[in-house]
Structure 1
Amino acid sequence: MEPILDFLLGNEKSKLLFCWDQSHCTYTGYYTIERRHKPLLLKKLKKLWDKVEPELPWERGLFNEHNTLLLDDSPYKALCNPLHTAIFPYTYHFRDVRDNSLGPEGDLRAYLHALATAENVQEYVKQNPFGQRAITDKNLSWGYYLKVIEASSSPPHQAADASSAPPNQAEDDALIQQQTV
């Protein structure tokens, strides 16, 4: 992740409060619909709000749904977060010279600049949608995503560990196939 941050942020990288990589995501035991061999990981904002890791540089309770934004190009990663606490820009392609989303006049940069002045992040995102839609019960694959949500909401001792497959992989593959047809 360091090379990507260096490329995108340069000297500005030092202004990041923290940066989490995939190891801080929640493993669900399920796989993404788009790429069936890619584990479906969640980015639970509650981990930040509850300060589950002591090295995070703030006091518990300082951050919440009104002042936190998850930015990711994969809407499924926010399945367990409150609505309007994330935006999902389309995947950035650095080799595409027409993709100026992160540039000085880019749409993402302009959006974040405006968001920085908002009093309530969640309300701003609700009033000003950006990028891909969040996954809701209106999504064609909601049945599959609901299973992911239910599995990841289980008490920790029941949740799947990183080496196990979903409870019934064949059933899940059939569900994915049925919902993507």
Structure 2
Amino acid sequence: MNESALDGDDDYEESKPNLSPQIQPKTKKLFILNQNEIVLAELFRRPYSKQFLGFCLQRFEVGVWSSARGYNIDGALKCAMGNHKEKLLFVWVGLIPMVNAEKPLYMKELQKVWNLYDSIYSRSNTLMIDDKPYRALYNPAHLSIFTKSYDINDEEDNLFDPNGELCKYLEGVYKAEDVPRHIQHNPFGLPPITPSHPDWKYYKKVQNIGPSASVLWSFLGHSAEVIVTRSTHAYCYISSCA
């Protein structure tokens, strides 16, 4: 059964992690969530989302990279996260649309996040989860996992079950020394886009165009990306050179 995002926003508990000191990392790895279609669909949270978010916040620094429009993000965050949205490292609103492709594809370029947190996060300690494998085309390999979008009519959806496969997988990522090496040897979910994909010719062309030929998502008439960080709790506008 799905969860209404309007019921019990703030009532979930975070169980204490049962983790030995020797596996406690000095700096938490960065886990980037796609809020829309992964956590939230319409006004419903994915089943077990409260427990799942608590699990993630205990083990990772969690950021949200959302395709929601900037003026909708606060309401969407409240629905998805409740008061725990203040624990997020950042919320990034805006995707990179390709302008020279045959059809628009909206990308998430991790280098932009790494530039913002220089020397703290990199390809060795970052993991992104999304429902669209093509959004990772501009990123190094083995830094993303992909899962199906949340269908509110699927009453058997248990992706976020704290005893399910995703949480077990993330526990492995949490303990891993190197994120891409772990993902490479332990694939999860939907396959990434590789040369074996039936539409690889098209996606390869998109890769070759590269982010330098793209423009930023238009937000209220401005070419900008919008980010709110935990340290400021304020919106900043990041230029394409950020």
Whether these two folds match at TM > 0.5 is yes
Number of residues paired by the alignment?
145
1:11-30 pair list within 5 angstroms: 11-21=83-93, 23=94, 25-29=95-99
2:143 match: 85
CA contact (8 A) 2:96 2:214 kept: no
Cα offsets for 1:17-61 (capped at 9, x unmatched): 01212x2x22212669xxx6xx3011111111122xxxxxx4x12
Q: 1:162 deviation in Å? A: 6.4
Distance 1:128 1:69, change over 3 A: same
Q: Report the Cα distance in structure 1 between the residues aligned to 2:137 and 2:110, rounded to whole angstroms.
A: 11
1:1-181 pair list within 5 angstroms: 1-21=73-93, 23=94, 25-29=95-99, 39-51=104-116, 58=117, 60-153=118-211, 156=212, 159-161=213-215
Q: 1:107 deviation in Å? A: 2.6
Moved over 6 A (4+): none
CA contact (8 A) 2:101 2:206 kept: no
CA contact (8 A) 2:96 2:216 kept: no
Q: Any gaps of 5 or more consecutive residues in structure 2?
A: 1-72, 218-242
Distance 1:9 1:108, change over 3 A: farther
Distance 1:162 1:130, change over 3 A: same
TM-score, normalised via structure 1 length: 0.70
Cα offsets for 1:120-139 (capped at 9, x unmatched): 11111112111111101111
Further displaced range: 104-113 or 141-150:
104-113
Q: 1:93 deviation in Å? A: 2.2
Q: Secondary structure at the match of 1:116?
A: helix
The alignment's C-alpha RMSD in Å is 2.4
More contact order relative to length (CA 8 Å, sep ≥ 6): 2
Q: Report the Cα distance in structure 2 between the residues aligned to 1:71 and 1:20, rounded to whole angstroms.
A: 14
Letter in 1 for 2:203: Y
Cα offsets for 1:2-31 (capped at 9, x unmatched): 44443443343222101212x2x2221266
Distance 1:161 1:65, change over 3 A: closer
Q: Secondary structure at the match of 1:109?
A: helix
Cα offsets for 1:96-139 (capped at 9, x unmatched): 22101113233323322331222211111112111111101111
Q: Secondary structure at the match of 1:46?
A: helix
2:64 match: none
Greater fraction of residues in helix = 1
Distance 1:70 1:115, change over 3 A: same
Distance 1:8 1:127, change over 3 A: farther
% identical equivalent positions: 37
Q: Secondary structure at the match of 1:61?
A: coil
